Structure 1
Amino acid sequence: MEENGALWLTIKDLPEEERPRERLLQHGPAALSAAELLAILLRTGRRGENALQLAHRILQHCEGLSGLGRIPAHELARIPGVGLVKAAQIQAALELGRRVAAAAPEERPLVRSAREAYMLLADMADLEQETLRTILLDTRGRVVAIPTIYVGNVNTTLVRPAEVFREAIRRNAVSMIVAHNHPSGDPEPSPEDVALTRDLIAAGQLLGIRVLDHLIIGRGRYTSLRERGLSFATPSFSQLAPRT
């Protein structure tokens, strides 16, 4: 779009793979920057400035996310391009995030077996593209997060252990379960799946993050490589569960 002889891009002018909302739907919210997430909340920018540019400016004004969390609504609304409606949307999202963070740990699922892990990931059976996710766990075996790591071919030539463990490190997870789907519907692991699993177990040992299992998800069923006899980090699922 051109204004006063200068070109500026709206969100719709960006390539589809660079648009925040499309990136979230494709790769999950964990793959987005703070500015991209904020741009989704804003939805629109103002004349001469798209939502992503406005989001960057808001974060700069607030000196980052911590400042955004502290700024009063009326002050946020005075930032050019924000206004009362956008300020209310941002503050509502921030408060919701606080309430989620404050939720009792007992509200987070406890994973004590491959079957329980599969139940958290059963929707992957319907995905048309091969997708890799991880279930991140705390010291008691409760779920910290389930980020999507890759969408596309999941094999040893494309999957980088650094990417798989990035969210686990960021969220201070102590163990993880890796899972990916086979769009064919057949959960039988390939030699590449086994090779990838061994690479991830080795990387986890170096990083101090235990890889407890790798699930291959098919249509209505799954395969656990731990149950198939592959050597995984200890403790087992049962050893992670809290004592009663």
Structure 2
Amino acid sequence: MLCSLVSQAQAADVSNISKAEQSRIADLIFKNECNRKFECLVSWNDGEDFPSLGIGHFIWFPKGSNAPFQESFPDLMRWYQQQGVIVPERLSNILQPNQSSPWQNKAEFLQDENKPQIEQLRQFLADTQDVQASFIMQRLADALPKMLAIGQNQVEKDKIKHQFERVSASPNGWYALIDYVNFKGEGIKETERYHGKGWGLAQVLLNMDHEGNALRAFVSSAKQMLQQRVSLSPPERNEQRWLNGWLKRLDTY
């Protein structure tokens, strides 16, 4: 759900993030997700049931998918529409806001990976990185009211808001918040849980210490949440293989 449908009074104020800082954050996210590689702008990661696209590796479910995670690529397409971005005609058959991924599985994707339309899709995403950056910023703005809505009581709501404000006021704090919500979500979906335990931004904020350096407390809490996720994850997903990379990413905050 995009910000036009979220109360502006509740949304986090990202307006004080300069254009230069927005560009820096977007570039860091692209580095984190893809090491800035062009071919990575449309890819299908091992162990996943969906492709990932763009500088933020926005996920796009095939038709009939029951993946438990928050899908983000269709929201990006709606954001493009709101921003007046015209999809090239050669891509219009696959880039519709409510359309499922045209590939049902990784084998299908690999058959098409080097075909002209995928290269054109990569180029379109490369040419519109600034729009993706604004989408990522807006997702963070929208995250605060969504997280407050799932607070179990006023104490939880107050802690989420307080810790969000502490981190955002820290040097590099906006980068940490924006990257994490793009990386692991808001933590508001009931399906994004293992044994009832989530790992999104809301859970990280609720788990933070009140004392000391806010950014260090955020990183420490995020590491605990991701380590807990891996320990509770289904064995067949083999999430341990990703943990070291996740923790290194947090160290960039």
**Same fold, TM-score > 0.5, yes or no:** no
Q: Which has the higher contact order (CA 8 A, sep 6+)?
A: 2
Q: Which has the larger radius of gyration?
A: 1
Q: TM-score range by the shorter chain?
A: under 0.3
Larger strand share, 1 or 2: 1
